């Protein structure tokens, strides 16, 4: 991943902010629909392994620190805000032609902002996607979480395979 400022005329990845904004709008819209149409903690079966289940997560990923007494709401909000600012700066410094990196950063940003909104407005994150098999349930999540996960995966791919200093590079025909 390049930390250099893009050269003049090349542009930067701030153009990807439209995707972040779209993900925030979709995430908040779906959370509104879930909150309006689902009864809290009552699963609506979609497939034998997938339910729509409205849940409120006061913690972080996988409900980490959900029962910590309330301070975590503000701690996670500050972290999300700081990460969001860092991601915008990173997008600004990323050349436009590094679109895997721009795409990954914008997805993480959109997800972080969607969940940040929930924390600030509601005090919890609205989750509604519930996957399970037999008696095993994966922690419920939402579109913002999907964006963060997919974006992080793209950042890993960029770092390992696409960046100029990637540790795993394809051999060129000239080598």
- Of 27, 51, 145, 158, the active-site residue reads 145
List strands edge to edge, sheet with 136-137: 44-47, 50-57, 125-133, 136-137
- Of 118, 127, 158, 174, the active-site residue reads 127
Question: How many Cβ atoms from other residues are within 10 Å of residue 152's Cβ?
Answer: 14
Is 145 catalytic? The answer is yes
In terms of Cα–Cα distance, which of 113, 87, 124, 116 is closest to 13?
Answer: 87
Q: How many CA atoms lie within 13 A of 112 on its CB side?
A: 22
CB 126 within 8 A of CB 56: yes
List beta partners, residue 145: none
In terms of Cα–Cα distance, which of 93, 61, 57 is closest to 79?
Answer: 61
Catalytic residues: 127, 145
């Amino acid at each position: 991943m390049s930390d250099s400022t893009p050269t003049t005329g090349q542009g930067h990845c701030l153009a990807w902010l439209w995707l972040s904004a779209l993900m925030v709008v979709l995430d908040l819209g779906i959370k509104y629909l879930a909150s309006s149409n689902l009864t809290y903690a009552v699963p609506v079966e979609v497939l034998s392994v997938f339910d729509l289940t409205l849940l409120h997560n006061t913690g972080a990923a996988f409900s980490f620190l959900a029962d910590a007494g309330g301070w975590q709401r503000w701690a996670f909000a500050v972290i999300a805000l700081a990460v969001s600012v860092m991601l915008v700066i990173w997008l600004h410094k990323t050349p436009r032609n590094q679109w895997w990196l721009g795409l990954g950063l914008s997805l993480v940003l959109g997800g972080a902002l969607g969940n940040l909104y929930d924390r600030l407005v509601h005090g919890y994150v609205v989750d509604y996607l519930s996957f399970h098999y037999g008696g095993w349930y994966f922690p419920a999540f939402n579109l913002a979480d999907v964006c963060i996960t997919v974006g992080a995966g793209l950042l890993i791919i960029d770092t390992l395979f696409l960046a100029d200093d990637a540790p795993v590079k394809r051999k060129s025909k000239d080598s």
